[in-house]
Amino acid sequence: MTTSTSFRPVIAIHGGAGTITRASITPAQQQAYREALRDVLHGAQQKLAAGAPAEEVAVEAVRLLEECPLFNAGRGAVFTADATHEMDACVMRGRDLACGSLAGVSTVRNPVRAALALMAAGGPVFMIGEAAEQFAAKEGCEMVARDWFSTEQRLAQLRTVQAAALASGREQVALDHTAQSQTPAAPLDERKKMGTVGAVVLDVHGHLAAATSTGGLTNKKPGRVGDSPVVGAGTYAKNAVVAVSCTGVGEAFIRGSAAHTVAARVELLGESVAQATAEVIHRVLPPLGGDGGLIAVGADGEVSLCFNSEGMYRGQIGMDGEALVAIYANDALAPA
């Protein structure tokens, strides 16, 4: 239980960070992203208002993001260099530091639900590949054919990145998508968009939780794992302190222990959530090549949506049911 005498239950979500290119999209296309964020927030808020525990609320928010092909997780997962899908996810519960992580799964419809099942099983904390898929199936998670995740847009992105690699004579990967000219419907510069989704929650009981899910990098080497499923790097939650979910250049967030560093600054230095997130995003990570952002909620309900890129899909909702969303760096949170 949080030590705060008063707190505001809240959900915050992200759908990836990256550079904004306004000129190549229509207002209607921007609105599609805003409405998708709004719908996710409203869906998860029903569980929050009903008194569900924080980890279940966070998982529901991420599950809904996984179901939306606009975002690089679950249904919208990008392709590896072998034209396959390898997805990662993590859930962490703040009241007892319980967590479940999995990486490299290809047939689990909602990896975040499998991560929750792993946490509920009480161990192991982290599973990968085929063994993780067998566990998910045994626990009753919905399994799908590998090609269920294959979309024409994502395949076109893979081909564009591979063509660029062939032309340059060197290996290339892309954060979520390819060049904006290849995918004009997306509001982020698709060469720089960090394709991860996540949620952080403070529930009505004062408990914190975080969940993160990703499809990784377009044209990534099979077997590559980023920060999303790594506890303390891409995901972390501890009651009376903070819950954090990250999106960015995974290797840098791992090296900087980004999520746990935010928590340590709040707990040990007494910084506010806003101070701690700003320090990590703007000072700790940039020297490591850590472009991206994170979302965090503190024990009193203080929310920070912090990033060093030019934008981040983001939103939050409280008990009043008003969903507030934003995409661009200079956007104030507003109803979709």
**CATH number of the domain bearing residue 202:** 3.60.20.30
Q: Is 19 a catalytic residue?
A: no
- Is position 5 within any domain? no
Note the pLDDT of residue 273: 98
pTM, two decimals, is: 0.92
Specify the 3-state DSSP secondary structure of 79.
coil
- Is position 335 within any domain? no
Beta bridge partners of 20: 188
Please state at what angle helix 129-138 crosses helix 111-121, rounded to 10 degrees: 80
- Is position 334 within any domain? no
From first to last of the 336 residues of the chain, give the pLDDT tens digit.
444 569 999 999 999 987 556 666 678 888 999 999 999 999 999 999 999 999 999 999 999 999 999 899 999 888 888 889 999 999 999 999 999 999 999 999 999 999 999 999 998 999 999 999 999 999 999 999 998 888 777 777 777 777 877 777 766 565 553 333 344 456 665 555 667 999 999 999 999 999 999 998 878 899 999 999 999 999 999 999 999 999 998 999 999 999 999 999 999 999 999 999 999 999 999 999 999 999 999 999 999 999 998 899 999 999 999 999 999 888 999 999
- Is position 256 within any domain? yes
Number of H helices, E strands in the chain: 8, 12
Categorise residue 18: left if φ over 0, alpha if ψ from -120 to 50, beta otherwise: left
Note the pLDDT of residue 3: 46
* Residue 46 structure tokens: 């029903």
Number of compact structural domains in the chain: 1
Cβ proximity of 334 and 324 under 8 Å: yes
Element (H, E) at 264: helix 258-269
Cβ proximity of 187 and 199 under 8 Å: no
- Is position 3 within any domain? no
- Is position 269 within any domain? yes
Cβ proximity of 302 and 290 under 8 Å: no
In the block, tokens 């992105």 appear at: 157
**What is the distance between the alpha carbons of residues 47 and 61, in angstroms, rounded to a whole number?**
10
* E-state strands within the chain: 10-17, 87-93, 99-105, 126-128, 196-202, 208-214, 235-238, 242-248, 292-298, 303-307, 311-318, 324-328
How far, CA to CA in Å, does 239 sit from each of 54, 243, 245?
A: 11, 8, 15
Note the pLDDT of residue 174: 57
Note the pLDDT of residue 186: 62
Catalytic hit among 2, 21, 160, 196: 196
Residue 84 sits in which domain range? 10-328
DSSP H helices in 50-110: 54-67
- Is position 187 within any domain? yes
- Is position 261 within any domain? yes
Note the pLDDT of residue 258: 98
Note the pLDDT of residue 228: 97
- For 128, phi then psi, to 5°, come to -135, 155
